[in-house]
Amino acid sequence: MSEIFVEKLHHVKTFSFLRFIVGVLVVLVIVFVLLGPWLFPPRRLPHILCAENVKILGKVLHIYARDYNNVYPPPEKWCDLLIMYPEMKPGQFICRSAFQEGNRERCHYAINPNCEPNSPNDMVLLFETKGGWNQAGGPELLTTENHKGEGCNVLFNDGRVEFVKAEQLGELKWEVEKEQNPRAGAGDSGNFRRPGSDEELHYWLKNMVWYHRFTNEEIEAATGLTEGELVASLKKFDIRPDNRPARDDNEPLLVLPYPGGRHPRIGFLEGAIDPQRETKFSVFTPWSRDSYVVVDLPEAIWSNLGLTYLAHTHIDTIWTKQGIELKKLEWNHYPDGRLDIERKLPNGIVFGVKVRPAREAVQMELWLLNGTEELLTGLRVQICVMTKMAVDFEQQMNDNKIFTNPYVACKSSDGKRWIITAWEGCHRPWGNENCPCFHSDPKFPDLRPGQMHRLRGWLSFYEGTGIEAEFERIEKTGWRKQP
């Protein structure tokens, strides 16, 4: 009987111990539930921290609009003005996911200059971009790289902040829809080129969506497609901003025909009405896949006959004075990235351009044949390098340029990166701070009837501070003599 008692006592003790353990666990669970958020604060995702910064920036943008007669700050100095408000701290301009110690990046956001306080609620007001300051623009500046390509934070005009996934970025509204015939080319005076085949359409949509980051409105302006046609075509070819193919670091610099539809200049637009795209090509920078310069080759040709060719409308040429309209052309493009084009003028003068990209530079050639029956003299050429779409190079000034005939170089806002151009036979190195652009304009020798001459040009990118030494290095490549 004593053995039975001992066994029962053992069971009672075991049950009491288990009940004690269960009680302790219950208490711990209650403590964790009640005190957990204070003892172990949740780790917030980087894009949530970034969204909080965007929300604060949006709040101050609306405060500014309240203080200044219902207008947002001027796009070219919005950061300078917002940082003056007591609500702002320098760190709130930074996306922590993109920030790297040692970098001088001051702001990872850009403002949409098309958005005003009375614009639609769903229009983009602020969005993520790469490091800079006072950045303003559209989808060409937008980046998903701050969050591993998954998407980016966007502030809408009504104050909402959303993390928009990469595959949905093409649906964002950047401009007010204009009530006009889309085939007339929005804001482009009817200067559009409607693709003649599915193959052409496919090529230009890839060009505009993947690389030039055009909005749907800009694509309609460049192609003359209706909104419905464009949406159907993008779906048919499965072209989206987020499925652009990657490029190998060892590939040549990316060179593409410029599609038009977006003016390549910032200022002095009245001096370049209806810019024709057949003389323009884009060269993408090696440090940013969305930054590029637009080269206008040739922008203009003068001779003893007068203004013999002009790639836009500004002043009369010898042809417009006669009521002659020149045929619109297109670049020939090749799988290895080369471009070329040839134009014959009504009086028999023929000129052509060849563009050959390599890994370190883009080499160019401009040739001209005197097909007239008289001597041609005073053959001056204007060749423009426009930096509107190159991030950190869009300053409207000439203080950031060096003119050392034949080399002309433009430096970034931090002074560490350079865009360099040069032309054989340069007679005028100069820059137009309004556009902004820079030139190494060449001159052909006098040409007898039937005589042809070639001029060679160079465009490259450089990172460093020894720009004069870089000029010397380029000179040693012998680029003037290369075919």
DSSP 458-476: EEEEEESS-HHHHHHHHHH
What pLDDT does residue 45 have? 55
Angle, helices 227-237 vs 216-223, to 10°: value is 100
What is the edge-to-edge ordering of all strands in the sheet holding 161-165? 107-111, 124-132, 151-156, 161-165
Please indicate, yes or no, whether the overall pTM of this predicted structure exceeds 0.75: no
Rg of the Cα trace of the chain? 30
pLDDT tens for 356-379 read 999 999 999 999 999 999 999 999
Among residues 383, 437, 430, 385, which one has the least CA distance to residue 404?
Answer: 430
Angle at 319 between CA 317 and CA 324, to 5 degrees: 140
* pLDDT tier at 103, thresholds 50, 70, 90: low
DSSP reduced 3-state for 222: helix
What would the CATH number be for the domain defined by 246-476?
2.70.98
Paired tokens of 346: 């009504």
Among residues 203, 214, 233, which one has the least CA distance to residue 334?
Answer: 203
What pLDDT does residue 179 have? 42
* pLDDT tier at 97, thresholds 50, 70, 90: confident
One DSSP character per residue, 255-277 reads EEE---SS-S-SS-GGGSBS--G
pLDDT tens for 224-259 read 888 889 999 999 999 999 999 999 888 999 999 999
The DSSP letter of residue 75 is G
More confident of the two residues 412 and 150: 412
Residue in this structure with the two tokens 């229009």, named with its chain if needed: 123
Residue in this structure with the two tokens 């007010």, named with its chain if needed: 176
What pLDDT does residue 180 have? 39
Paired tokens of 141: 């500046």
More confident of the two residues 267 and 367: 367
What pLDDT does residue 169 have? 83
Tell me what percent of the residues of the chain surpass a pLDDT of 70: 86
- Tally: H helices and E strands in the chain: 7, 19
Among residues 446, 438, 431, 332, which one has the least CA distance to residue 379?
Answer: 446
pLDDT at 192 over 80: no
Sign of CA dihedral 130, 134, 139, 140: negative
d(CA 481, CA 458): 12
d(CA 236, CA 98): 35
Tell me what percent of the residues of the chain surpass a pLDDT of 90: 54
d(CA 63, CA 82): 10
DSSP reduced 3-state for 50: helix
47 membership: H or E segment, kind and range: helix 46-67
- Which is it for strands 407-411 and 332-333: parallel, antiparallel or unpaired? unpaired
What pLDDT does residue 7 have? 53
Cβ pair 297, 383 in contact under 8 A: yes
pLDDT at 184 over 80: no
DSSP reduced 3-state for 114: coil
DSSP reduced 3-state for 362: strand
Q: For the residues 163-189, what does the mean pLDDT come to?
A: 63
* pLDDT tier at 171, thresholds 50, 70, 90: confident
Paired tokens of 43: 């780790």
The DSSP letter of residue 37 is H
Residues in the chain, total: 483
More confident of the two residues 216 and 182: 216
Lowest mean pLDDT among 37-51, 144-158, 189-203, 416-430: 37-51
One-letter amino acid identity for 111?
Answer: I
What pLDDT does residue 118 have? 82
d(CA 34, CA 376): 90
3-class DSSP string for 299-313: EEEEECCEEEEECCE
* pLDDT tier at 1, thresholds 50, 70, 90: very low
124 membership: H or E segment, kind and range: strand 124-132
What pLDDT does residue 268 have? 83
Angle at 389 between CA 202 and CA 258, to 5 degrees: 35
What pLDDT does residue 283 have? 98
pLDDT tens for 427-462 read 999 999 988 999 999 999 999 999 999 999 999 999
pLDDT at 473 over 90: yes
Lowest mean pLDDT among 125-139, 164-178, 329-343: 164-178
* Domain boundaries along the sequence of the chain: 46-171, 180-244, 246-476
More confident of the two residues 197 and 460: 460
pLDDT tens for 19-34 read 667 666 766 666 555 5
Average model confidence (pLDDT) for the chain? 86
What pLDDT does residue 469 have? 96
